Structure 1
Amino acid sequence: MQDIFSQVRACQLCHDSLPLGANPIIQGSERARIVIIGQAPGIKAHQSSTPFNDASGKRLREWLAVSSQQFYDPSLFAIIPMAFCYPGKGKSGDLPPPSICAQTWHRSILATLRQSKLTLLIGQYAQKYYLTAASTLTANVSSCDYQNHHCLALPHPSPRNRFWLQKNPWFEQLKLPILQHRVEKLLAESS
């Protein structure tokens, strides 16, 4: 039987409703230590079939203080978007991720990730889906205990969020060093 990641990659549930057709993008293995739950692949990720293969990914890797080699190692990072395919362009960025992906696949995927020690909920869609007391993005990120929580809220690393980052410098000054330390420790434990 195929593993869950292969099953997702073969999914065609939304093929006819997507502007560029289905191209499910997911990364991971049962050994992954860190789970990243993001929004949906952008156009560059769709074209390359590689998650976070754009400016958002570059910033996210900087935030985590990891190399591309580490980030794209499925035994270290599982990357599970709320929607696995590029949803298309909207008025102010990409369209929201269709909920069918998370509803159909997330529970089964997360059940296989028993070795994960840290889950990063990137952006409002992941936070609304997974945080029982989800609030605004700023409230979610600021109230998160980066030292002790297993599940952490992060803003989306998109260049479009530069105003949020400028308005909330505490995120990069206070939260990121703690996150980087935790990631470094988890990756060292994996060696």
Structure 2
Amino acid sequence: MDPTAPLKAEIRACRICADRFAATRTAHAPRPCVWFSADAPILVAGQAPGMRVHESGKPFFDRSGDRLRDWMGIDESEFYDLAKVAVLPTAFCFPGYDAKGSDLPPPPVCWETWHHRALDAIGPVRLRLVIGGHAIRRHLGDRRPVREAVADWRARPPGTFALPHPSWRNTAFLRRNPWFEAEVVPRLRRAVADALDRPVRAAS
């Protein structure tokens, strides 16, 4: 039996934010996206599901996920293998859109309610990818702008990467900061391969 199963069932049943989500532009119901198990060597610590993930129930099941997997040098079969990758967003549910159609931030109550238990259930990992400003602040306590947090990758402990969100809205960030794909991505691919005990795969 999966030792994380009881906790995952609790999280999937969570309705703490039902009223909050009903009041958003999308007026949606909670649907926690829970995708982790114990002892996966890689932890992807992201921000919150988007609409496509909310609809599919699979984390990073969108264009952002395609870009993230390309950065990692990993295919979908490995990414969605629970024995290899645990995905832990700062908030398990899609937060909704504001009146202007922009993504709302992850509700802090989700982190406060579930994340210490989830991290304990996942256990030690060989590689931790902390993605986007909300996750970088929560997991690393780093409140600098995302560019500065990501650029400081050499000072991170071994096995930890702070990454920009792979959203296609961040394409301009990548163009302004070519060092990310030139320097950070090759190191990231090597770290992923090492965590999975396999050779590095070339980018698509």
Task: Determine the structure 1 residue equivalent to 2:95.
Answer: 87
Runs of 4+ in 1 over 6 A off after TM superposition: none
Task: Determine the structure 1 residue equivalent to 2:114.
Answer: 105
Mapped partners of 2:101, 2:171: distance in 1: 14
Mapped partners of 2:40, 2:63: distance in 1: 24
Deviation at 1:150, TM superposition (A): 2.9
SS for the counterpart of 2:130 is strand
Native 8 Å contact 1:146 1:152 kept in 2: no
Native 8 Å contact 1:146 1:175 kept in 2: no
Written as runs of structure 1 = structure 2, the 5 A alignment for 1:147-166 is: 148-166=157-175
SS for the counterpart of 2:197 is helix
Mapped partners of 1:86, 1:151: distance in 2: 25
Task: Determine the structure 2 residue equivalent to 1:130.
Answer: 139
Native 8 Å contact 2:136 2:142 kept in 1: no
Q: How many residues align?
A: 189
Instruction: Return the match for 2:154 from 134, 145, 152.
Output: 145
Find the structure with the greater CA-based Rg. Answer: 2
Task: Determine the structure 1 residue equivalent to 2:32.
Answer: 24
Identity %: 38
Deviation at 1:132, TM superposition (A): 2.8
- Tell me the TM-score normalised to structure 1 length: 0.92
Mapped partners of 1:178, 1:126: distance in 2: 20
Deviates more, 1:172-181 or 1:7-16: 7-16
Task: Determine the structure 1 residue equivalent to 2:6.
Answer: 3
Deviation at 1:149, TM superposition (A): 2.6
Mapped partners of 2:155, 2:82: distance in 1: 23
SS for the counterpart of 2:30 is coil
Distance 1:26 1:188, change over 3 A: same
1:170 aligns with 2:179: yes
Mapped partners of 2:101, 2:162: distance in 1: 22
Matched to 2:149, the amino acid is N
Deviation at 1:3, TM superposition (A): 2.9
- Tell me the TM-score normalised to structure 2 length: 0.87
Mapped partners of 2:56, 2:136: distance in 1: 26
Deviates more, 1:57-66 or 1:7-16: 7-16
Extract unaligned runs of 5+ from structure 1.
Answer: none
RMSD: 1.8
Extract unaligned runs of 5+ from structure 2.
Answer: 22-26, 199-204
